[in-house]
Each structure stands twice: as structure tokens, then as C-alpha cells.
Amino acid sequence: MAGMYALHVPITLMYNSIMISPSSRRRRARIWAEQSAAASYRLSDLRPFDGSCIRYEEPTNLLVSFHDGLEVGVTLEGSCDIDFDGTTVPHEPGDVWLIGIWEPHTWRVTRRRSTILSVGFLPEFIGDEVLPTAWHDMFTCDPADRPSVPDGEMRSTVLQLGREMAREIKARRDDWRIGARLTLAKLLFVLHREWRLSLPIPPKPQGQISGLRRIAPALRAIHSRPVERVSLPDAAARCGLSTAQFSRLFARNMGLSFGRFRTRAHLAFAAHLLLTTDLSIDAIAAESGFTDASHLHRLFVKHYKATPGEFRLQFR
């Protein structure tokens, strides 16, 4: 099973089953197909960016997401709610959200005729040569401290950049990723500049993309071996660093310890199996690197606020 898991697939599961009219069924089937296509983009060294811009004719049920790359979302029309760990934040046109690697969150579209732009990308897609500042610290700080968009000129700028990215993604002309990259870089630059100015205390310096490259072998090890728990010494050795050096570099670049990140990654894999297979909870615990079902149960409730069984029933 581990070899079959595409960890470069952002996973978004949507819509509980409900009784609806034939016309509504057709409309929701179309939306489901669009959402499934948006959720199936693969990120890799050869394909470090993809995205979607979807118009929702009706509000959605609660959706759950976690991604193996960074995510930037922009509400272009209508509204949606994003929930991080029990805190729900409404998003109106021009609002953005930034989500870290394998960071679980839930969301829902709350208004008819809403248009949502969502892009996923590996940090190297932007790189230090485009944005020399430590822009990715916006993704690794506490969700409550991440950039928000005030009213006025900033909101107009975000909407303009979001629409430019949406046009590139929809048209997919030659070299469309280059156009999207330049627009995304400008959006991140604008957000990071305003964010730093708005903070009461300047953020501590964090690592650059070169630091992320140094820890990339450890990330790849977790990606390729979800059934195993890569140890801290093993991860450090793969990166050619001492455990102390690796721990400092990892925390500086990812915003959390290696152990916490590894747990989040294994939980994401377990959630993937819960939503895409009929395996028992015991089998899923074994396949996703947990000691037993009770070990998975305890950590799953802590992170997802639901038991594995409840999670499967609610989102499948």
C-alpha cells in the first residue's frame, strides 16, 4: 500500500450524500468533477505548481483538505470559511489564506455563485532568487498570525493578482506556469511586506529556500516510507547533518519540530486511507506507521477533533 500512495497528490474530499433533485444532482455532479480535477494535481520536482479556479453555484458542505505543498487561496467572488484547529475565519472577496505542508484544515463555501482560486506549489517554485526575504515564514507561523488583507488598496491589489493567476490557470497557454509564478511571487511579496509592517514585534529571522533544500532528503524519506517512522538520527544522516543541526534547521524552516511534522504527515496518510479505502482502523494504523489502532485513535482525535471512524463517516 505504501508504494501506491501518491504523497504528491493534494487530497480534498467533498460532499456528504444527501437526497437531491435530478437537476441538482447533475449540477453537483459537475461541481464534484471540477473539484476532483482540482484535487488531483500532482506536485513534484518536474511539476512544482498547479492550481484551480472554481465557481461554486451553491454553498458546499464542510470540506477537509491537507496538501504536500504550500497552498495559497484567494476568494475572488462570494465567500467561504476556513477553519484551523477549531477557529473559523470568514473570507470575503480579496481575502487570502496561506496553508503549510500537510497542515489539516476544513473549509466551506458559504454563498451562492462564489469563485475560489487555490494554488499548490513546492517552495522551490518561488525560490530565493525571486523573493530573497524569508517569505515562507508566513506559512509556518501560527495561523492566527498569518497575513490578512485590510480593506482598500491592498484588497484591490490582491483581487487583481488573483484574477491574473486565475486567467493563466484557466487558459493554460504555453509557459502558463511562468506567468503564474511571476504573479504568485508578486502576491507573496505584497503580503510579506505588509505583514511584516503590521506585526507589533518583527518576526525572528527564519531559513531561506536553501535551508529547505538542506532538509529535503528527510521530507522525501517521510514521503516514500509512510508505513515506517523515520527516526530523527536517520533523517539527520540523510541530510548530512548532526541531529542538533538538523533539529534547529528543520524547526527554523518548517515552523515545528521534526517529530511533530512527522506525526502530521503520518496522520495525513491515515486520513487519506480512511477516505479512499475500506481498510479497517487496525489495518490503517499499521499501514500509516502507528503502533496500533489506539495509538492512531489518540493522535487522530488530538489533531482532527474526531475519531478515525467519525472522520470517515463525516467526510467520505
pLDDT of the residue at 202: 53
CA geometry: angle at 114 spanning 92 and 163, to 5°? 75
Q: Are 180 and 293 found together in one domain?
A: no
**Residue pLDDT, tens place only, 257-289:** 999 999 988 998 898 889 889 999 999 999 999
Would you state the pLDDT for residue 95?
A: 97
Out of 178, 198, 218, a domain closes at 198
Strand order in the sheet with 49-56: 49-56, 114-121, 70-77, 96-99
Binning pLDDT at 50, 70 and 90, where does residue 171 land? very high
Mean pLDDT of 132-158: 87
Mean pLDDT, residues 294-300 taken together: 94
pLDDT(10) > 90? no
pLDDT computed for residue 259 by the predictor = 94
Closest CA to 165 of 130, 107, 118, 95: 118
Residue 103 CB partners (closer than 8 Å, separation 6+):
66, 67, 84, 264
Instruction: Kindly state the helix (H) or strand (E) to which residue 266 belongs, with its residue range.
Output: helix 258-276
Residue 1 has pLDDT above 50, yes or no: no
Q: What's the grid cell of residue 253? A: 524552516
Question: What confidence score (pLDDT) does residue 37 get?
Answer: 35
Q: Are residues 62 and 135 in the same domain?
A: yes
The amino acid occupying position 193 is R
Q: How many residues does the chain have?
A: 316
Q: Residue 296 falls within a domain, yes or no?
A: yes
CATH number at residue 119: 2.60.120.280
- Residue 252 forms part of a structural domain: yes
Q: What is the pLDDT of residue 98?
A: 95
Domain boundary among 198, 233, 257: 198
pLDDT at 140: 85
- Domain tally, the chain: 2
How many CB atoms sit inside 10 A of residue 150's CB? 10
Summarised one tens digit per residue, pLDDT across range 63-84 is 777 777 899 999 999 999 998 7
Give mean pLDDT, residues 150-160. Answer: 92
Residue 23: give the domain boundaries: 2-198
DSSP assignments along 106-159, one per residue: EEEE-SSSEEEEEEEE-GGGT-TTT--S-TTHHHHS-GGGS----SSHHHHHHH
Out of 5-19, 30-44, 146-160, 286-300, which region has the weakest mean confidence (pLDDT)? 5-19
pLDDT one-digit tens code per residue, 20-48: 334 444 444 344 334 433 333 457 777 88
Q: Give the gyration radius of the chain's Cα atoms.
A: 19
